[in-house]
A and B are shown apart, each in its own frame.
Chain A
Amino acid sequence: MMRASPARIVLYVICALVLVYLILPVLIIAPISFSSARFLTFPPPSFSLRWYQQYFSNPAWMQATRVTLTVALLTVVIATPLGVAAAYAISQSKLRIMRLIHMALLLPLVVPIIITAVGIFFVYAKVGLVATMPGLVLANVMLGLPYVIISVLAGLQSFDPAQEMVARSLGMNRLRSFFAVTLPQIKSSVIAGGIFAFISAMDETIVALFISGGQYQPLTKRMFTALRDEIDPTIAAISTLMTAASFMLVLLASTRQKRSG
């Protein structure tokens, strides 16, 4: 009825422009990373892999990449079981205090990250965790927990707790019935939550700026410092790789979530 009206056409044009604004910066990175030019020129004069070579042959970038992957992996290994246990408790318990605990567990999403970062820095300075691997992992576990909890709680919503009661009435203890009955059914949201925690740890920058140092600096901290000084196309290569990695992970997580319904 109103499909061809002028108002409708204006709407299409505005939306197309907004979508271009959203997508263009993400798309511009890859061509720059394959450019042969030392300085930014667009379109690139010719294609080359020199910035990728520069990245893979630079010990500092490689060390930072190892730190990032290690931290992200350890974060998932620790945050996932903690988050699953917490989400399970929140969904099963009728205690009134659980609502308060639930809100407390989502605090990392509410408190501005700069405040969290500076606060952790002060506490770490007192206990000697600044510029250490455990310190970095612990901070990322805290930041990743809400993602696991939100994802698992969503999965538990479509799960019928009566099934677990049945298993227990047949003689399984609580722990075994959880692993045999509940976990297989919420597996997808657990995996999705873990993937989100991984991405969150991989991208985390601000806390790392304050609490990491020495040989335990993640990729994001080195990128931030490099970006402050000069715009080196090596960063375009790293950015392209990071973007490709997170898109693949998100795709994996979303197919997982769909299956869990």
Chain B
Amino acid sequence: MLALVSPALLVILALIVLPVGWLAWQSIYHDGFTLENYRRVFTEDVYWRSFALTFEISLAVTLIALLLGYPVAYLANSVPKGWSILILSLVVLPFWTSVLVRAYAWLALLQRTGVINQFLRYLDVIAEPLALVHNTFGTVVATVHILLPFMVLPLYATMQKIPNDLMQAGASLGASPSLTFMRVFLPLSLPGVLAGCTMVFVLCLGFYITPELLGGGRTVMVSMLVSRNVELYNQFGAASAVAVVLLLSVLAIFFVVSRFISLDRVLGQK
């Protein structure tokens, strides 16, 4: 059996374990052992600001995705089967469109001469085009769009397992629909909330294409810091240190979350 699994394992070891190990080594070794790269990451303003911005954007994206995704998952769970299949298909439809294609679509929609600005000017709502893209706003709009399915799917899976009897029991004891929702349904859906939020937050931390194309060079997320240090500045040690800190953040989040829910629940959706 080990012989059967070894070719796949070899590929993984050679192309992900070795490269990540290499990064870790490169971040602490350059003509001798050094912590200089980490000192820079933790003290220099550019790095610090980028990490802070990345966590802020990830947090905002997670909260928005939760606010938008929860009602959709709730509705999909409470309508007849045919309707719920339709709703879920619409949710996963963009999921199967390339991230690049969607970045292009958002540029077409949000740019100064884009569909939305043209429409608003046609309606005489605005005189000057709004700056909707090449900034943090555009990045967040497009990022939420890409990550929303990762929120809706675990929410829906969890909600489906909540027995309807419990809601009926609540109602029969005299609670209003909103009270049964708050006291029974919402708490029981929390594992799904945690799974969805973890996946969205972690994926957002490592986002690259969307902020690069829609951020207009101003929204420098951590992944862009890594790529710029490699491509523009040839700062391999610094890039490696940033990558290691990012990876450790992701692993730490997974570790903490795994204390509360099974990780299969989080990763199973991807």
B residues within 8 A CB of A224?
100, 209, 213
Question: Is A73 an interface position by the 8 A CB rule?
Answer: no
**Is A236's CB under 8 angstroms from B71's CB?**
no
| B156 at interface, CB cutoff 8 A | no
Measured between beta carbons, the chain B residues less than 8 angstroms from A32 are 108
Distance of A214 Cα from B83 Cα, bound (Å): 49
Asked if B75 lies at the interface with its beta carbon under 8 angstroms from chain A, I say yes
Mark interface residues in B1-30 (1 if CB within 8 Å of A CB, else 0).
110110111011111111110110010000
Q: Which of A19, A114, A138 contacts B208 (CB 8 A)?
A: A114
Total count of chain B residues near the partner, CB < 8 A = 77
Q: Which residues of A have CB within 8 Å of B94? A: 22-23, 25-26
Q: Determine the chain B residues whose CB is within 8 A of the CB of A243 once the complex forms.
A: 97-98, 101
* Complexed CA–CA distance, A122 and B99 (Å): 25
For A205, give its contact among B8, B20, B90, B209 (CB under 8 Å): B209
With a CB–CB cut-off of 8 A, which chain B residues contact A141? 11
Assess whether A26 is in contact with B8, with CB atoms less than 8 Å apart: no
CA distance A139 to B12 in the complex (A): 9
Contact flag A227-B100 (CB < 8 Å), given A11-B71, A25-B145, A98-B5: yes
**What sequence of 0s and 1s flags, for each residue 223-261 of chain A, a beta carbon within 8 Å of any chain B beta carbon?**
110011001000110010011001100100000000000
The answer to whether A119 and B22 touch (CB under 8 A), given A86-B9, A231-B108, is yes
Q: Which residues of A contact B90 (CB under 8 A)?
A: 19, 22-23
Q: Name the interface residues of B195-209: CB closer than 8 Å to any CB of A.
A: 202, 205-206, 208-209
A122/B97 in contact, CB under 8 A: no
Which stretch, B40-48, B111-119, B158-166, B186-194, touches the partner chain A? B111-119
Q: How many A-B Cβ pairs are below 8 Å?
A: 239
Which residues on B sit within 8 Å (CB–CB) of A169?
none
Q: Chain B residues with Cβ under 8 A from A18's Cβ? A: 68-69, 71-72, 148
Contact status of A109 and B270, CB under 8 A, knowing A119-B20, A149-B8, A199-B96: yes
With A and B bound together, what is the CA distance between A136 and B68 in angstroms?
A: 37
Q: Which residues in B have their C-beta under 8 angstroms from that of A2?
A: 177
The answer to whether A122 touches B1, judged by C-beta atoms less than 8 angstroms apart, is: no
Task: Decide: B12 and A145 in contact? CB cutoff 8 A.
Answer: yes
Instruction: Identify which of B16, B109, B213, B243 gathers the most chain A CB atoms within 10 Å of its CB.
Output: B16
- Measured between alpha carbons, how far is A224 from B103 in the docked complex, in Å? 10
Which residues of B from 27 to 73 have beta carbons under 8 Å from A?
A: 68-69, 71-72
Q: Are B8 and A246 in contact (CB under 8 A)?
A: no
User: CA–CA, A28 to B213, complex, Å?
Assistant: 18
Docked CA distance A22–B93 (Å): 8
Q: Mark B135-179, 1 if CB is under 8 A from A, else 0.
A: 000000000010010000000000000000000000000000110
Beyond the given pairs A22-B148, A28-B109, A118-B227, 9 more chain A to chain B contacts, judged by CB atoms under 8 angstroms and listed by A's residue number, are A18-B148, A85-B5, A86-B5, A95-B2, A109-B267, A115-B246, A118-B226, A203-B98, A239-B101
Write 5 A-B pairs (CB below 8 A) sorted by A numbering.
Answer: A19-B87, A22-B93, A42-B115, A138-B11, A142-B15
